[in-house]
Amino acid sequence: MRAAAAFLSFLPSALSFANTKSSVSYRASSNLMAKLGDTIDFAKYEGLGNDFILIDDRDKSDPSLTPEQSERLCNRNFGIGGDGVIFALKAPEGEDYDFTMRIYNSDGSEPEMCGNGIRCFAQFLKDLGEDAESYRIKTLAGPIIPVMNADGTITVDMGEPILDGPTVPTTLAPNSEHNSVLEQTHTCNGKEWKISAVSMGNPHAIIFVDDLENDIDFESDGPALESDTGAFPAKTNVEFVQVMSPTHLKMKVWERGAGPTLACGTGTCALVVAAIRAGKVPRAGKEGVRVTLPGGDLFIEWREENNKVYMSGPATFSFKGQATLKDRP
């Protein structure tokens, strides 16, 4: 506890926990970039256990924290703890957006997008008073549109999946229509895998198995596949998937830059696309395919009429507070 306090100090009066109504009302700092010793305001959200630190930078065009500072805040022993830090930034001038979202992973790397993160981002905006039925968000993966549902869930138009192998990007040989990689044989970590490559603005390697508990060595196979730059030059997220029924899939995810997480929204979208293309499940209607992740369920629809993928699930406020940036660990 002393070690944690040496890096991070919370102001107890600022904390609100998940069993109370979310009320994120602090004002964004006017500093362009936070410095050591500065106190920052934050809010903590989670989407099926995939947890994020949210920073209100609506008066800025760029994040107020560096990747290194974000990595420290994500440290679960010396910092707040989280799978990433998400910044709510103003929309670019002259462009058709409401806000911009940037995210740094817990290792300081910057992904193009995050499915669970975008739901948390939308809920954060609502709690800040930006009350709208939907938001048009600029991300590094392109425009993303979350819609706030009456039941408290959030449906996100994730856009069209990218199937072209070199664009994913992967160097695995295309073996299916649209120049795509579908259950292509590849050896990694001393094992032979059948890999489907899909991008939802970020790369995913999807592998179908008969038994999630016995067919993989998750802690070994996950990072080996993630960092196999011979096959995925930008590294990749890795999803291991078991088909439970024609409308139900179960998965474990090893996220690029974050490792094992309880949920991955873009990965869930990518694996449903791969499952439909490989004939593992039929294309579902608006109710979507149920995907069970370690943190809970998401529902994914790959809509035939416009080729877009829609993800529905929760985003939950946990607590808010203040933290002092210090040069540890």
114 is an active site residue: yes
Neighbours of 191 (CB within 10 A): 14
One-letter identity of residue 119:
R
Alpha carbons 62 and 205: distance in angstroms, whole number: 30
Alpha carbons 235 and 223: distance in angstroms, whole number: 10
Q: Identify the CA nearest to 323 among candidates 7, 64, 27, 2.
A: 7
Are residues 267 and 255 in contact, defined by beta-carbon separation less than 8 angstroms?
A: yes
The sign one gets for the Cα dihedral 236, 146, 150, 117 is: positive
Alpha carbons 306 and 43: distance in angstroms, whole number: 35
188 is an active site residue: no
Name the active-site residue from 74, 114, 120, 188: 114
Measure the CA dihedral 316/322/324/325, to 10°.
Answer: 30
Name the active-site residue from 74, 120, 264, 269: 264
Judge residue 316's burial from the number of C-beta atoms within 10 Å of its C-beta, 0-12 exposed, 13-18 middle, 19 or more buried: middle
Full DSSP string of 139-183:
ETTEEEEEEE-TTS-EEEE--PPB-BGGGTT--SPP-BGGGBEEE
- Which residue bears the tokens 């990694």? 188
Active site residues: 114, 264
